[in-house]
Amino acid sequence: MDKETIYRAIYDKYIAPTKIARKNYIGVEIEMPVVALDGGSVDENTVHEIADLFSEKFGFIPVGYDAQGSVTSFRNNKNGDILSFDCSYSNLELSFGRAETLFEIHYRFKKYYAFLNNRFYSNGCILTGMGINPNAAQVHGKPIQNERYRMLYHYLHSYKKHISEFGISFHDRPDFGTFTSASQVQLDVSYDRLIDVINVTGLLEPYKAMLFANSYLPDHPKYLCVRNMLWEHSMQGYNPHNVGMFSLPIHSANELVEYIGTQSIYCTMRDKKYIDFKPVKVCDYFDREEIYGQYFNGESYSDITFKPEKSDIDYLRTFKFEDLTFRGTIEYRSSCCQPISDVMTVAAFHTGINERISEIKELLENDRVIYSHGYSPTELVKMFSKRKYPDFAEKSELSKQLQRILELAEDGLRYRGNGEEVFLVPLFERAEHLTNPAREMVTGIENGVSMREFIEKYSVL
């Protein structure tokens, strides 16, 4: 397949949907760790029983199953909401059908969460608002046994074959998907705003790390937001273009198409079986006569050689902080799950910023707080994901700039006219004191507060 054909396929999948006129909707996905209060692992039978009760209560129907016949996802066909388990049965996700206001989503979230957590708590577990399961050391279990997660687990564990290939430093928790939880937002994007939105929201990432960090892992004590590192230093980051930030600004839709062409495919399906293989850049993949991979044959993994097909573009799976989707939306995926009382802060922040892209662009283009010290946005987000800020960072100026950004987000929400700016209130306090949930938790633990207290505090609705 020649490059022109490849680029056309990419354009049709990712760019063309942004040209379709439609209302602007909000999509929210909230992952939450299921935590055993005794510090051990979660009983999967209990999880399944509670999920079944939930489906009966709220009219959800089963739509996904694992190899043992247990339900992995339920859907409400009236509003499009989904309850699912992400990678493991210790990571519960609530995904909400597209909505016009944040209040619609919050109303349903509160109903669902209250029901679920009452049932979990009576069974010695809890759903809490953390980006890392506090019992991560115990969550070494296998992933959900279905085609998708089995393949992903196998692929991520293949990192040992590639350690000597180049300079990437892999961590030793390829099962990180089973104990990391995110708060993700999808917002419709139009073609004429696409490039500005990607570039401007990318520049916000270091500031977002300061506001939303909530994934502390004792094995990596330097980090307050360790989720990013876990993604980037795994097989997901084998090709850096698949994860994290765009290293340089994107100037046009054609340039974005070319960038997507440099991202890698690492899986596809044949005969309803997932195949994973060493990542191959899209622009090279379709030039190959054949690809060597492996698939699960029902008992073990078997080798397979197959020919690339045009439809394999559907299996390009990337995890950029700002990920353009085939739906004509940008999915913002760098933020950790937040304490449940602040659960809507991530969605509110992005929704407000989306209304004030021009103003944010001007603010950041003139930024002298972090963008005047010779570091790239990629370097800065790594610095500000850590507990110790870089020496050049003047804390009073950081606080002021965060508040300016939040004021623009607040103004954007006021412009929408729904009263949604109320969801930003906790972020102003964080900006004033330069704190975030992970920093508060680590400081508290060092001063004698137990992890159990934070698990329960961050679970309060």
Q: 277 in a domain, yes or no?
A: no
Q: 340 in a domain, yes or no?
A: yes
Cα separation, 289 vs 207, in Å, equals: 45
Q: 193 in a domain, yes or no?
A: yes
Q: What does the block give as tokens for 257?
A: 């198409």
Instruction: Give the CB-side neighbour count of residue 181, counting CA atoms within 13 A.
Output: 34
Q: Which helix (H) or strand (E) holds 254?
A: helix 253-261
For the stretch 283-323, pLDDT in tens is 999 999 999 999 999 999 999 999 999 999 999 999 999 99
The pLDDT-based confidence of 140 (bands split at 50, 70, 90) is low
Cα diameter, the chain: 62
Pair type for strands 243-244 and 82-85: unpaired
For the stretch 161-197, pLDDT in tens is 998 777 678 999 999 999 999 999 999 999 999 999 9
Q: 406 in a domain, yes or no?
A: yes
For residue 258, which amino acid is it?
Answer: E
Cα separation, 283 vs 120, in Å, equals: 47
Cα separation, 48 vs 118, in Å, equals: 15
Strands (DSSP E) found in 100-222: 125-127, 183-188
> pTM for the full model?
0.96
Contact 424, 406 (CB under 8 A): yes
Cα separation, 103 vs 407, in Å, equals: 20
Q: What is the pLDDT of residue 321?
A: 97
Cα separation, 312 vs 343, in Å, equals: 36
Please give the average per-residue pLDDT across 235-257, as a whole number.
Answer: 95
Asked if residue 259 has pLDDT above 90, the reply is yes
Q: 162 in a domain, yes or no?
A: no
Distances (CA, A) of 280 to 48, 229, 267, 268, 277: 37, 22, 10, 12, 8
Q: 108 in a domain, yes or no?
A: yes
Q: Which helix (H) or strand (E) holds 408?
A: helix 395-416
Q: What does the block give as tokens for 36?
A: 């055993």
Cα separation, 149 vs 176, in Å, equals: 12
Residues contacting residue 208 through CB under 8 Å, at least 6 positions apart: 334, 335, 349
DSSP letter for 63, please.
E
Split into its structural domains, the chain has a count of: 1
Q: 301 in a domain, yes or no?
A: no
Mean pLDDT of the chain: 96
Q: How far apart are the first and last CA of the chain?
A: 53
* Domain of residue 201, residue span: 22-134+180-221+321-457
Asked if residue 125 has pLDDT above 90, the reply is yes
For residue 230, which amino acid is it?
Answer: L
Question: 125 forms bridges with which residues in the sheet?
Answer: 36
Q: 272 in a domain, yes or no?
A: no
The CATH number given to whatever domain includes residue 435 is 3.30.590.20
